[in-house]
């Protein structure tokens, strides 16, 4: 019986303690990868890591991805534990809702820092070693907000559009190196971020939580929210050895809400 396709590979997942990040970690672990989970909440990281230890080797590091010093320290410890990262999943992110008129400079900086600068810093931390070894996979978890506009999240949309642009540019720079760079762009997904959006809708409109969820699901032509495992399966496919020819793509996982050509 052959070994799983990612046996011996080290996958590093930011925002890896819950939601899409935790689902991606499980999917990559199923394919044999060793895992490092990066996040801000040590208790949740520990809980997720413990749940995965029967599947593969897994460790975690606490870091804020928008901090150059914390990224440098966490990634150095990850290298000591599992070797250089072969796979990087830039999943850490945050969304805050406000009309443009109420989007102050602090909110703007927060959205760009965690969603875009964090992706930049983490990629910088692993790319040189990937190029040196001639193989690597970088998958950026963007959003349909990186492909189209949405009301009341202009800073978040700007940041996620930046992630998609970074993905495409970096894919060209690494095209002959054995490193691929792609993005996945989920629509509204069953995560804590959507739970926050539901609470925000309830507070601002007086609608019930069920009505708020239905409003978000209605954007998807399939009439539902995306499951984290659906995003994770797409990410895992992009990380497999046979996906060498796929780079620079921004793949919408949104039930047909956004169709890229």
State the catalytic residues: 156
Q: Exposed/middle/buried for 259, CB within 10 Å: 0-12, 13-18, 19+?
A: exposed
Distance, CA of 244 to CA of 139 (rounded, Å): 13
Q: Is 62 helix (H, G, I), strand (E, B) or coil?
A: strand
Residue with tokens 């001639």, as numbered in its chain? 134
Q: Is 34 helix (H, G, I), strand (E, B) or coil?
A: strand
Among 146, 166, 39, 32, which Cα is nearest to 87's? 32
Here the tokens at position 118 are: 């964090």
* Beta carbons of 78 and 101 less than 8 angstroms apart: no
* Beta carbons of 138 and 88 less than 8 angstroms apart: yes
Paired residues of 188 in beta bridges: none
């Amino acid at each position: 019986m052959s070994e799983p396709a990612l046996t011996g590979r080290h996958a590093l997942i930011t925002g890896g303690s819950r939601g899409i990040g935790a689902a991606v970690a499980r999917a990559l672990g199923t394919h044999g990868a060793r895992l490092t989970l990066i996040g801000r909440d040590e208790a949740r990281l520990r809980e997720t890591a413990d749940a995965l230890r029967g599947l593969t080797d897994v460790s975690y590091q606490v870091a804020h991805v928008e901090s150059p010093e914390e990224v440098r320290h966490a990634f150095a410890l990850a290298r000591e534990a599992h070797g250089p990262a072969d796979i990087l999943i830039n999943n850490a992110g945050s969304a805050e809702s406000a009309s443009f008129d109420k989007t102050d400079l602090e909110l703007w900086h927060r959205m760009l820092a965690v969603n875009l600068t964090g992706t930049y810093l983490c990629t910088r931390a692993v790319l040189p070693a990937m190029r040196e070894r001639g193989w690597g996979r970088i998958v950026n978890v963007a959003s349909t907000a990186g492909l189209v506009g949405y009301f009341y999240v202009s800073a978040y949309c700007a940041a996620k559009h930046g992630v998609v642009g970074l993905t495409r540019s970096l894919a060209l720079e690494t095209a002959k190196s054995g490193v691929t760079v792609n993005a996945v762009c989920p629509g509204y997904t069953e995560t804590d971020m959507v739970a926050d959006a539901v609470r925000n809708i309830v507070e601002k409109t007086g609608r019930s939580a069920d009505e708020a969820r239905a409003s978000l699901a209605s954007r998807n032509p399939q009439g539902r929210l995306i499951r984290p495992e659906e995003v994770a399966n797409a990410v895992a496919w992009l990380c497999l050895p046979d996906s060498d020819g796929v780079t620079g793509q921004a793949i919408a996982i949104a039930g047909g809400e956004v169709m890229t050509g």
